[in-house]
Structure 1
Amino acid sequence: MIYFDNSATTKIGDEVLKAVLDTMENNFANASSLHRLGYETEQKIISAKKGIANIIGGKEDEIYFTSGGTEANNIAIFGVCDAYKKYGNKIITTKIEHPSVLKCFNELENRGFEVCYLDVDNKGYINIDNLINEIDDNTIFVSIMYVNNEIGTIQNIDEIGKKIKEKNKNTIFHTDAVQAFGKLKINVKYIDLMSVSGHKIHSQKGIGFLYVKNGVRLNNIIFGAGQQKGLRSGTINSEGIIGLYKASEIAYKNLNENFEKTSKIRKEIISLKDKIKDMCINGDEENGIPYILSLSFKDVKGEVLLHSLEDKGIFVSTGSACSSKNKKDLSTIYYVNENNLGSTIRVSFSFDNTLEEAKIFNNTILDIIPMLRIYTKR
């Protein structure tokens, strides 16, 4: 089996699984309990918060654990907009955000907020000058994805954050870093809020975190017994947090090595362009993150190609697993040629993948595409 769908989810790592099982067996107590077992569990969670904060250049009390990226995005967006609505009514995002961001903005637009959806170029980049020109005294919130989950475009988040504050120091800046954390070195100096999901970096599903810079106010969207300073009430997911921290440690310990390895895999697959006609690389071929690659093949339906590869034991996707069941993902039209909208697959990698797997993928594509094109023209 060759698994090239790591942007949808990753297989839990062996060391992560060991840490999770150990926590479930030995630190199963509720971290809010006052007895010794609860205290010991709480101390492990505190250590995990410190470790994650250190990775991103933040502080322990700025980390809030969530069920994943979608919840973190919702808490950030609705929490800020509700808390700051008396100071302004304008919010800004891009047209190519993950659905868990875009649909929040759609809902806020329905509630009366003025929403600006920024265009991107054919490589998926925003025009930073256009963003800054949109910011005024009425702008309370901006959300820009760190790494695009479809084509791997890396936005210059540090420059964006810095320029936002130069234009309006009171504008809150959020980034969805689900596809960036564990793959890029991140520092939150110019970021007010950041969303992360564990199952993209070989941790388990159902765990993530939201970074909230001290001083940023969020109104609750979840109410309960007041855990995590009341922002995200609910029993702490101890094993999830320990697994997320272990996965984060491993990812950042091997950050450069993993980046180099996946870069070689990506480069090998890009070499297909020289061997097959009418193949297109979507996004920034030279500078996109090496973990994600979007490919279009003229006269081939992406879903048919996906299942043809599946028959050969190769697993890819036609795009984001969170939106692939939609009949039309409107965000895709901004960086995929209209003629290739139905002819695109996404291959996404992790440090578990090998260069040999990429070569097998290429040979399989070279066999499959001509046959599928013949079938399509019948």
Structure 2
Amino acid sequence: MIFFDSASTTPLHPEVLKTYVYILENYFANSDALYDYALKSSSLMEQSREQIASMLKVKDNEIFFTSGASESNNMLIKGISFAYQHKGKHLITSAVEHSSVMGAFKQLEEYFGFEVTYLPVNSKGVVECEQLKKALRPDTILVSIMSVNNEVGSINDLKALSKIVKTYSHAFFHSDCTQSLAKMEIPMECLDAASFSAHKIYGCKGSGFLYKKVNIQLLPLINGGQQEEGLRGGTSNHPCNIVLAKTLRLAMEKMDEHRQKVAQLNDLLRRELNRMDDIIINSPEDATPYILNFSCTCMTSEIMLNALNERQIYVSAQSTCHSKTKSVSEVLLAMGIGQKRASQAIRISFSYLNTEEEVIEFIRNLKEILNEYRIK
């Protein structure tokens, strides 16, 4: 088996699994109960929050545990919009955001009377500062632009974009940092809020957190409890929350080492793909090394995915959140890549667990599939 879909998810780190099982077995009590056994669970969870905050160089009361980045995105985008709508109902995002961000903005637009500006991206898939500057208005209350695109790996300049927001408006600046956590430096000092997920960095699925500055008010989306300062009611998933700090620490300790290895795999694959006549690379040269998107110009994504799947090589065509739809990538279309080429796209996303041998084996199989298709 060759797994080249790590932008979708990653395996659980053995050390995280070990700690997770220990917590499940030894600290199962509800962390909001008041007896000593439960208070230990609560204490461990708060230690995790403090450690996460320390690693990101933020305050511990700015970290809120969630079920993942999709919830974090919704919690922040809708929470701010509802809380500050008396100041304005204009919102800004980009045309290439993750479906959880796009869905939140579409719902605010269609059902709650907000006006949303969807910024275009250039041929590299990034938002240009001038476009953002033109879109800002006195009634803009929130700008949300992703850090790293999950389909092509384009990297937005968050520092520059944040400077535009802060210079020309009173809006809050949020970023979906799912694909950049523990893979590159994130300028937290430039962000008012950011969303993160654990299962992209060898942690538990259904686990993540939201960073939000203390001065920002949110209208809760889930009522019914005191958890997370009253912003997220419901019994805390304390085992996942407790091991999240360890997940992040293990990933950040090896961030540079892992990035270097992945960059070598990316370079190898790029070189081999560039030698092939029927391949066009869609990811920009300066994209994250963890993602490489390309199109096979002689066959559709669906045919290629099925052929690779039969050989136990697992890749994707676009974001996994769109994997069951027949539509082509909105990201590629927004970059100016035509409908046909977008329908032929394949996304490779690497992990430090991948090897050069796997890349070479992938190329061998890719060539065989293309040759067999041509003969047919």
1:228-263: CA deviation from partner (whole Å, max 9, x where unpaired): 110011111111112322211111000100100000
Q: For the Cα contact (< 8 Å) 2:132–2:164, is it kept in 1?
A: no
* Deviation, structure 1 residue 35: 1.2
* Deviation, structure 1 residue 77: 0.6
* Deviation, structure 1 residue 351: 1.3
DSSP-derived class of the 2:182 partner: coil
- Residues 123-202 of structure 1: matches in 2 within 5 Å? 123-168=124-169, 170-202=170-202
* Deviation, structure 1 residue 330: 3.1
DSSP-derived class of the 1:199 partner: coil
Q: What residue identity is the alignment partner of 1:5?
A: D
Counterparts of 1:70 and 1:89, CA distance in 2: 22
- Residues 254-333 of structure 1: matches in 2 within 5 Å? 254-284=254-284, 286-328=285-327, 329-333=329-333
* Deviation, structure 1 residue 163: 2.1
In structure 2, do the counterparts of structure 1 residues 340 and 373 end up closer, same or farther at CA, with 3 Å as the change threshold?
A: farther
Q: For the Cα contact (< 8 Å) 1:10–1:199, is it kept in 2?
A: yes
Q: In the alignment, what sits opposite 1:14?
A: 14
Q: For the Cα contact (< 8 Å) 1:57–1:187, is it kept in 2?
A: no
DSSP-derived class of the 2:142 partner: strand
Counterparts of 2:107 and 2:264, CA distance in 1: 41
* Deviation, structure 1 residue 162: 2.2
Q: In the alignment, what sits opposite 1:114?
A: 115
Bigger mean CA offset, 357-366 vs 84-93: 357-366
Q: In the alignment, what sits opposite 1:100?
A: 100
1:354 equivalent to 2:338? Answer no
DSSP-derived class of the 1:280 partner: strand
Counterparts of 2:209 and 2:185, CA distance in 1: 17
* Deviation, structure 1 residue 180: 0.9
Q: What residue identity is the alignment partner of 2:34?
A: L
DSSP-derived class of the 1:76 partner: helix
* Deviation, structure 1 residue 48: 0.9
Q: In the alignment, what sits opposite 1:206?
A: 206
Q: What residue identity is the alignment partner of 2:367?
A: L
In structure 2, do the counterparts of structure 1 residues 275 and 331 end up closer, same or farther at CA, with 3 Å as the change threshold?
A: closer
Q: What residue identity is the alignment partner of 1:363?
A: R
Counterparts of 1:138 and 1:95, CA distance in 2: 20
Q: Which runs of 5+ in 2 are unaligned?
A: none
1:28-71: CA deviation from partner (whole Å, max 9, x where unpaired): 11111111111111111111111111222211000000111111
1:311-338: CA deviation from partner (whole Å, max 9, x where unpaired): 2221101111101212214343113333
Counterparts of 2:359 and 2:180, CA distance in 1: 22
* Deviation, structure 1 residue 275: 2.7
Bigger mean CA offset, 320-329 vs 330-339: 330-339
* Deviation, structure 1 residue 173: 0.8
Q: In the alignment, what sits opposite 1:40?
A: 40
What TM-score do the two structures reach when normalised by structure 2?
Answer: 0.96
Q: For the Cα contact (< 8 Å) 1:84–1:140, is it kept in 2?
A: yes
Counterparts of 1:89 and 1:185, CA distance in 2: 32
* Deviation, structure 1 residue 289: 0.5
Counterparts of 1:142 and 1:208, CA distance in 2: 21
1:334-359: CA deviation from partner (whole Å, max 9, x where unpaired): 13333312111111111111122111
Q: What residue identity is the alignment partner of 1:291?
A: Y
Q: For the Cα contact (< 8 Å) 1:143–1:173, is it kept in 2?
A: yes
1:192-241: CA deviation from partner (whole Å, max 9, x where unpaired): 11111111111111111010111011011110121111001111111111
Q: For the Cα contact (< 8 Å) 1:175–1:195, is it kept in 2?
A: yes
1:220 equivalent to 2:220? Answer yes
Q: Which runs of 5+ in 1 are unaligned?
A: none
Counterparts of 1:119 and 1:278, CA distance in 2: 28
What percent identity do the matched residue pairs reach?
Answer: 36
Q: What residue identity is the alignment partner of 2:161?
A: I
DSSP-derived class of the 2:295 partner: strand
Counterparts of 1:265 and 1:331, CA distance in 2: 24
What TM-score do the two structures reach when normalised by structure 1?
Answer: 0.96
Counterparts of 1:50 and 1:256, CA distance in 2: 23
Q: For the Cα contact (< 8 Å) 1:128–1:160, is it kept in 2?
A: yes
DSSP-derived class of the 1:112 partner: coil
Q: What residue identity is the alignment partner of 1:79?
A: G
* Deviation, structure 1 residue 278: 2.6
